[in-house]
């Protein structure tokens, strides 16, 4: 069986090795890089930059600042209190017109170079020029970008150029596109008006029929965000409008965007091996019926695990309380606290003792990713939620992606999910909908990840790039190919990743999806689908389980029809 699967994988590689990202810059970028010390621009690993943006008049440069904030967490100031504001930042981005950047202001900037900070000056001028401000002998930490116009588009293009969202094609210091580009107006050359009308109509139908109160739809083509729009409200009958910067419970999309990057990282560094067994990595499994099950079978959902264990139904009196105390510190909702170590003492042993069916048949099971989280944490000696932040999210600019978002973001930014009347007995907002993941402390291999659509788009582009983003390689191309291509002889699945169904009659994930498409859906009404053939990423986020679980999103085929509307515009 192993040799057959390996041969099958090699055949698939022949079809994937040409599928590197194909950035297509459809706009004219007039930016000129006059100086670029150490080739710092475009910025690469964002976790190494503590950034501040300084402009003479914040309102005048709001388009520049807002575009910068699409790429990175930055603080924005004017020149008042300059030295105090920039004290704890190692990268300072200055933006202004030639007239606004007076010499006395630039003297402050020169002091930042004395303090060994990286300074990037973005100067807007009335005409193209290569003349630049020179900070004397200290220009080793200084880069300057000149844009020969000053308007909304110029501000946005200049900001994208700093981060690699646009390639700089003018002058001697040329750069390449390394990150997502955000379309301004209709710069992509597609039938955006027709596509928008179709998507608007489908979204309106979904809200009208109570398939979901709110949703965000995003599409990326050739590295350019061509569609990014929010619909509806956080809940029915409320004025809290859904926005594109809202944070959603991703449900099972967590499998491919949370746990899988860690698995890929460990696998390609030979820390774990897919054909080794659970017993090899989990001492607790060595005396169970799971000791000889390979990781490959686990990742393919072919390990014979039971599909689902409703752990919350087994709670005993006193396990869950509504006020925290020393014995109940696991917060599963605003007013619900679980007994300490319940996952370790009850849930995990129950999974290890659960029955298994013969290996090899496809049975979708959440237990598979509980298992993989346990293995990754033992092999890294670090909680998975911390490891994936350091490995991927922070370096590439996934600003909101993570677990337990209420510890990091305002409640109002997170869409509510179910009004849980059985287990937690309250409306869930910022606490994972999946009961088992909540009982595991909000972090599980199969659920618990929250993020914006923009964060998912960054991850999708990383996969389209076959492991590279922002000028840095995070995974080898063959690792991405292995996990995302079809790896099973009994299902359409890759390793954890779902794929387009080869049976066209099933129209999954959509009527027009081709066989290169891979991704995943989430129970809360989410999905991401990545199409190497068309260099396309499609993201749909909703809270369709609010206020109670409903099948209308599926019955009305909302996600698939929107995906088809995008394909029809290509």
Domain contains 10 = no
Are 329 and 463 part of one and the same domain? yes
54 assigned to some structural domain: yes
Segment holding 462, helix H or strand E: helix 453-464
Residue 145 confidence (pLDDT): 96
Domain presence at residue 207: no
Q: What is the pLDDT of residue 135?
A: 57
Specify whether 165 is located in the same domain as 263. Answer: no
Q: According to the model, what pLDDT value does residue 129 have?
A: 57
* Residue 336 lies inside a defined structural domain of this protein: yes
* CA–centroid distance for 60 within its chain: 31
Which residue among 164, 179, 194 closes a domain?
179
Pairwise CA distance, residues 25 & 119, whole Å: 27
Closest CA to 102 of 155, 56, 151, 135: 56
Q: Are residues 157 and 252 in the same domain?
A: no
Q: Are residues 138 and 252 in the same domain?
A: no
pTM confidence score: 0.94
Measured torsion, CA atoms of residues 401, 522, 520, 22, in degrees rounded to the nearest 10: -50
Residue 75: give its domain's CATH number.
3.40.50.1700
pLDDT in tens, the chain (570 residues): 444 444 344 444 444 444 455 788 888 999 999 999 889 999 999 999 999 999 999 999 999 999 999 999 999 999 999 999 999 999 999 999 989 998 889 889 988 998 899 999 999 987 655 555 555 544 557 899 999 999 999 999 999 999 999 999 988 899 999 999 997 666 677 889 999 999 999 999 999 999 999 999 999 999 999 999 999 999 998 889 999 999 999 999 999 999 999 999 999 999 999 999 999 999 999 999 999 999 999 999 999 999 999 999 999 999 999 999 999 999 999 999 999 999 999 999 999 999 999 999 999 999 999 999 999 999 999 999 999 999 999 999 999 999 999 999 999 999 999 999 999 999 999 999 999 999 999 999 999 999 999 999 999 999 999 999 999 999 999 999 999 999 999 999 999 999 999 999 999 999 999 999 999 999 999 999 999 999 999 999 999 999 999 999 999 999 999 999 999 999
355 inside domain: yes
**Residue 553 belongs to a domain:** yes
Closest to 367 (Cα-Cα) out of 439, 278, 301, 288: 301
Strands (E), 410-506: 419-420, 426-427, 449-451, 468-469, 472-473, 498-499
Is the domain of 119 the same as that of 36?
Answer: yes
Q: Are residues 283 and 167 in the same domain?
A: no
Domain end point (choices 154, 179, 204): 179
Q: CA dihedral defined by 390, 395, 401, 406, rounded to 10 degrees? A: 60
Backbone angles phi, psi at 123, to 5 degrees: -110, 125
- Residue 114 and residue 92 in contact, taking contact as beta carbons nearer than 8 Å: no
Helix H or strand E encompassing 272 = none
Distance CA 471, CA 417 (A): 37
State residue 176's pLDDT score: 95
| CA 258 from centre of chain | 9
Does any domain span residue 507?
yes
Say yes or no: 174 and 255 in one domain.
Answer: no
Contact status, residue 251 vs residue 245, Cβ threshold 8 Å: no
Q: Clarify whether residues 264 and 381 are in a common domain.
A: yes
pLDDT score for 187? 64
* Cα three-residue angle 500-456-14, rounded to 5 degrees: 40
CATH assignment at residue 475: 3.40.710.10
Q: Angle, to 10 degrees, between the axis of helix 192-208 and the axis of helix 558-569?
A: 170
> 299 and 403 share a domain?
yes
How far is it, in rounded angstroms, from Cα 22 to Cα 177?
A: 10
196: tokens are 């928008």
Per-residue pLDDT at 130? 54
Kindly tell me the burial class for residue 306, based on how many C-beta atoms sit within 10 Å of its own C-beta (0-12, 13-18, 19 or more).
middle
The answer as to whether 213 is a domain residue is no
Q: Which of the listed residues 119, 148, 179 is the one where a domain comes to its end?
A: 179
Do 169 and 265 lie in one domain? The reply is no
Contacts of 321 (CB under 8 A, 6+ apart): 328, 336, 337
Q: Helical H runs in 103-248?
A: 103-114, 152-163, 192-208
Q: Quote the CA–CA distance of 188 and 515 in Å, as a whole number.
A: 25
Closest CA to 69 of 331, 465, 466, 452: 452
401 lies in the same domain as 527 = yes
**Within this chain, do residues 121 and 253 fall inside the same structural domain, yes or no?**
no
Question: What is the C-alpha to C-alpha distance for residues 381 and 448, in angstroms, rounded to an integer?
Answer: 20
Dump the DSSP string for 77-88.
E-STTHHHHTTT
β-partners of residue 487 are none
Domain hosting 92: range is 32-179
Residue 413 region, left (φ>0) first, then alpha (ψ -120 to 50), else beta? Answer: alpha
Total domains in the chain come to: 2
């Amino acid at each position: 069986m192993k040799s057959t699967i390996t041969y099958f994988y090699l055949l698939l590689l022949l079809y994937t090795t040409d599928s590197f990202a194909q950035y297509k810059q459809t706009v004219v970028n007039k930016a000129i890089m006059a100086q670029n010390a150490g080739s710092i621009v475009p910025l690469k690993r964002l976790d190494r930059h503590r950034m501040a943006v300084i402009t003479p008049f914040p309102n005048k440069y709001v388009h520049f600042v807002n575009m910068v904030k699409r790429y990175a967490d930055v603080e924005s100031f004017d020149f008042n209190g300059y030295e105090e504001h920039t004290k704890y930042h190692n990268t300072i981005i200055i933006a202004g017109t030639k007239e606004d950047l007076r010499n006395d202001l630039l003297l402050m900037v020169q002091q930042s170079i004395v303090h060994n900070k990286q300074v990037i000056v973005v100067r807007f001028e009335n005409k193209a020029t290569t003349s630049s401000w020179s900070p004397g002998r200290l220009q080793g930490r200084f880069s300057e970008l000149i844009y020969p116009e000053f308007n909304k588009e110029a501000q946005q293009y200049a900001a994208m150029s700093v981060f690699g969202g646009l390639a700089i094609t003018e002058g001697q210091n040329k750069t390449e596109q390394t990150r997502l580009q955000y379309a301004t107006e209709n710069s992509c050359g597609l039938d955006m008006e027709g596509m928008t009308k179709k998507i608007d109509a489908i979204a309106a139908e979904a809200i009208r029929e109570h398939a979901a109160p709110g949703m965000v739809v995003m599409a990326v083509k050739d590295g350019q965000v061509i569609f990014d729009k929010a619909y509806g409200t956080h809940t029915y009958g409320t004025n809290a409008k859904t926005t594109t910067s809202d944070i959603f419970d991703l449900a099972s999309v967590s499998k491919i965007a949370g746990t899988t990057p860690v698995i890929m990282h460990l696998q390609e560094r030979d820390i774990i091996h897919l054909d080794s067994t659970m017993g090899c990595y989990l001492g607790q499994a060595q005396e169970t019926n799971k000791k000889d099950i390979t990781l490959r079978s686990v990742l393919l959902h072919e390990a014979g695990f039971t599909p689902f264990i409703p752990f919350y139904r087994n709670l005993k009196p006193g396990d869950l309380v509504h006020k925290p105390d020393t014995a109940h510190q696991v917060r599963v909702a605003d007013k619900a606290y679980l007994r300490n170590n319940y996952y370790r003492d009850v849930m995990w042993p129950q999974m290890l003792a659960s029955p298994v069916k013969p290996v090899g048949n496809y049975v979708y099971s959440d237990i598979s990713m509980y298992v993989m989280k346990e293995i990754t944490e033992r092999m890294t000696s670090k909680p998975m939620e911390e490891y994936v932040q350091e490995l991927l999210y922070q370096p590439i600019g996934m600003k909101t992606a993570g677990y337990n978002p209420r510890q990091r973001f305002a409640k109002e930014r997170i869409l509510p999910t179910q009004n849980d009347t059985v287990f937690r007995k309250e409306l869930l907002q910022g606490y994972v909908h999946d009961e088992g993941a909540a009982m595991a402390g909000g972090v599980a291999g199969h659920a618990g990840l929250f993020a914006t659509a923009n964060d998912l788009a960054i991850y999708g582009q990383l996969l389209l790039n076959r492991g590279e983003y922002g000028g840095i390689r995070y995974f080898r191309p063959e690792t991405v190919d292995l996990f995302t291509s079809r790896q099973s002889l009994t299902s359409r699945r890759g390793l954890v990743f779902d794929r387009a169904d080869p049976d066209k009659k099933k129209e999954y994930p959509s009527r027009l999806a081709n066989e290169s498409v891979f991704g995943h859906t989430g129970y809360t009404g989410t999905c991401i689908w990545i199409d190497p053939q068309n260099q396309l990423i499609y993201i749909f986020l909703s809270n369709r389980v609010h206020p109670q679980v409903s099948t209308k999103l599926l019955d009305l085929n909302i996600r698939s029809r929107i995906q088809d509307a995008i394909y029809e515009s290509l």
